[in-house]
């Protein structure tokens, strides 16, 4: 933790609880927003591949057969 952040927390500790909670809520909201922004940036820079059974009939048929076999064996 930086010295500035330590100083800020020490100053916040001097405030009444309701003001401390208000500041904490704002900080948490800011951190959440930053986290969401980072996730969106990561998703935007990634080429996501979405599998669809419409594009892979053989794979879908194989999965269907596996599920049918598992159901018959009592595993599904």
- pLDDT digits over 13-71, tens only? 999 999 999 999 999 999 999 999 988 888 888 877 777 767 788 888 888 899 999 99
Domain with 67, as residue range(s), is 51-76
- Residue 14 φ then ψ, to 5°: -80, -15
Q: What is the DSSP letter of 75?
A: -
User: How many separate domains does the chain show?
Assistant: 2
The confidence score (pLDDT) of residue 66 equals: 92
Residues 1 and 31 in one domain: yes
The model's pTM? 0.51
Residues 39 and 72 in one domain: no
What is the DSSP code string of 10-72?
A: HHHHTS-HHHHHHHHHHHHHHHHHHHHHHHHHHHHTS------TTT-HHHHHHHHHHHHHHHH
Residues 14 and 41 in one domain: yes
- In contact, 12 and 23? CB cutoff 8 Å: yes
The confidence score (pLDDT) of residue 67 equals: 92
């Amino acid at each position: 933790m930086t010295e500035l952040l330590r100083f800020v927390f020490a100053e916040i500790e001097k405030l009444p609880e309701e003001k401390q909670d208000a500041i904490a809520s704002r900080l948490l909201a800011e951190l959440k927003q930053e986290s969401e922004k980072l996730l969106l940036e990561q998703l935007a820079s990634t080429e996501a591949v979405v599998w669809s059974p419409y594009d892979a009939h053989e794979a879908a048929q194989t999965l269907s057969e596996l599920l049918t076999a598992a159901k018959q064996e009592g595993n599904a």
